[in-house]
Amino acid sequence: MGVNPAATAFYTTLMDGDFDVAILDVNLPDISGFELARVISSSRPMGVIMLTARTGRDDRIKGYEEGADLYLTKPVDGEELALAIANLARRVRSAALSAKTASSAKATADGKDHAVSYGSERPWLLDLQRHRLTSPEGVPILLSGREAMLVEQLARAAGSIVPRAVLDAFFGTGSADPESRRLDAALRRLRMKARAAGADLPLHVVHAVGVRFVGALKLA
């Protein structure tokens, strides 16, 4: 498909792993580092460090507005960077532990009935070999190859927002085009296929940011 792998590969790796800190450059060929910072900070419990040659005040302000915890300009001292990563990672782990403890206490307070109900939610299933998406009620929806790859990205994100540029890459010619409407058309087709099969596809489009699948979605 001619997709430049720089940022899309980074994002795929990010979704498949468990990381404390992401280090981003601003100038990426397929996704802006600012866009990645916005998506990560709004959907993942991670620290974000911008490491870039762009030293302007407006760029620094934008970096922090989009969710960067630190904005460092090149060249940067290696020891300073290592200490910054270690300190930020420690704060991220501490915050994650506090959130986990609070969530566990809330789940206990809500009672066992709620926990059983939540845990018994049936997922959507994506069969990549057969290009088939099956609803929790067992309704099959046949997909094209690119539709299957699109849904695969949503599945790997596990409920987090997938940046629009990552999804655009599957329908573009090598770089994300902000004016492209191919992704919008693909999402409309997916929804129409689901409705024709008697299912309601739980897609949530976040304007100018990306798309996420609301509900459990697993690879079969």
Tell me: the pLDDT tens digits for 196-213? 888 889 998 887 778 889
Q: What is the pLDDT of residue 170?
A: 67
Q: pLDDT at residue 136 above 80?
A: yes
For the domain made up of 121-219, give the CATH fold. Arc Repressor Mutant, subunit A (1.10.10)
CATH number of 5-115: 3.40.50.2300
Q: What is the pTM of this model?
A: 0.56
Q: pLDDT at residue 120 above 60?
A: no
Question: Would you give the distance in Å from CA 105 to the centre of its chain?
Answer: 27
Q: pLDDT at residue 49 above 80?
A: yes
In whole angstroms, what is the distance from residue 14 CA to residue 173 CA?
A: 23
Domain boundaries, the chain: 5-115, 121-219
Tokens of 110: 């809500």
